[in-house]
Chain A
């Protein structure tokens, strides 16, 4: 009788005993999870993602809960939509349904800013390779520079699933930190005279027919050049086609709201579930966070430098600051550019130009990932 009571009590105390003996990594991750929850709930840092991620992180690090093991809820969610890439693709449908590519279509040449804003990916890839990461891991780390959470998750879950936790948390954290990361780089690379350049107001010139045809053109051209990335391009453009066609308002709203909300919750929990202490707390994780920061900083720097080049080529008609918006963090990056522009010229409203570059960055990040995957396929690495 006493033996069975002691055995029963040992079951109740097993979690505490584990935490005390071998659970230091779990204890640290419980704190990390709490920090993520604090940032999301109190500081409004990407709360839609950081709260489910933080909660998943806490749940998976409570010893012996088995939520992250085979048959556990978090593992089921992971297998259901992360391992097979379904969740990031559904998020892309939502992003497409939410995004107005009109400002980009007003001045299509601005798409090149979206290309320049991806340069950080390739420079970071070189750094990751120099640090000794294998090719596919280096690609997954560099893709943080796409500044686009779903793209980073899509690529990493396919080619370096063991890095999914740190890569996704880094991607979303740095996206939230864009208003802090961008301004010092923008100021360091431009002169006050350049920052004061006033750009001509954008006139409406895009017909509804063009807006409806745009998603189809993107998937045909993008799909022919980079077929491996068609799931990414196809889903974002499906959402945008539904939006612009205007005939499936219910589906568009469902994509923007119900689907996006449910998938975001599941995706966040599943990612949090990959942050088990023993697997997460490695020097690699720190390196990934460092390189993620580098990637996004280099994106911004490349965008601004490209803006300076375009400024010179157009005889000073383009404010180089809008180059910084050529990343995927939409609409935050465009707002930061508008804010910086107004600081130096109170009458200078760069928002529409920056929004064009920003939506160009969204397409640019997806195209960059698609092209990278197709090049990897061509090289026989995937």
Chain B
């Protein structure tokens, strides 16, 4: 594999994969916040 192909593959797959992974993580954190909202906690716990 030549350097250009390798570099572009890394940029597209690894760069895109990083973006995608972090986007999915963001969605799951949003979901967790809905499932366990702050008001659910006992007073003083947070």
Contact = CB atoms under 8 A, between A and B. Distances in A.
A208 B44 CA distance: 11
Interface in B1-46: 1, 3-4, 6-11, 13-15, 17-30, 32-33, 36-38, 40-41, 45-46
B10 A108 contact: no
Contacts of A270: none
A9 interface: no
A226 interface: yes
A204 B33 CA distance: 11
Nearest to A129: B3
Contacts of A221: 21, 24-25, 28
Contacts of A251: none
A109 B26 contact: yes
Contact of A135 (B3, B11, B25, B46): B3
A379 B46 CA distance: 45
Interface in A107-135: 108-112, 114-115, 118-119, 122-123, 125-126, 129-130, 135
Which of A105, A135, A204, A209 has the most CB atoms of chain B within a 10 A radius of its CB? A209
B36 A210 contact: yes
A207 B43 CA distance: 11
Contacts of A217: 25, 28-29, 32
Contacts of B1: 379
Interface centre among B17, B24, B28, B29 (most CB of A within 10 A): B29
Contact of A210 (B18, B19, B25, B32): B32
Contacts of A371: 14, 17-18, 21
A24 interface: no
B4 A122 contact: no
B22 A115 contact: yes
Contact of B21 (A105, A204, A367, A379): A367
Interface string A186-229: 00000000000000000011111110011001100110011000
19 contacts: A105-B29, A108-B25, A108-B30, A111-B23, A111-B25, A115-B23, A129-B6, A135-B3, A138-B3, A205-B37, A207-B38, A209-B36, A210-B32, A214-B29, A217-B29, A217-B32, A222-B21, A225-B24, A375-B10
Interface of B: 1, 3-4, 6-11, 13-15, 17-30, 32-33, 36-38, 40-41, 45-46
Given A118-B15, A222-B21, 17 more contacts: A108-B25, A108-B26, A108-B27, A111-B23, A111-B25, A111-B26, A122-B15, A138-B7, A205-B37, A213-B32, A214-B29, A218-B25, A225-B20, A371-B21, A375-B13, A375-B17, A379-B9
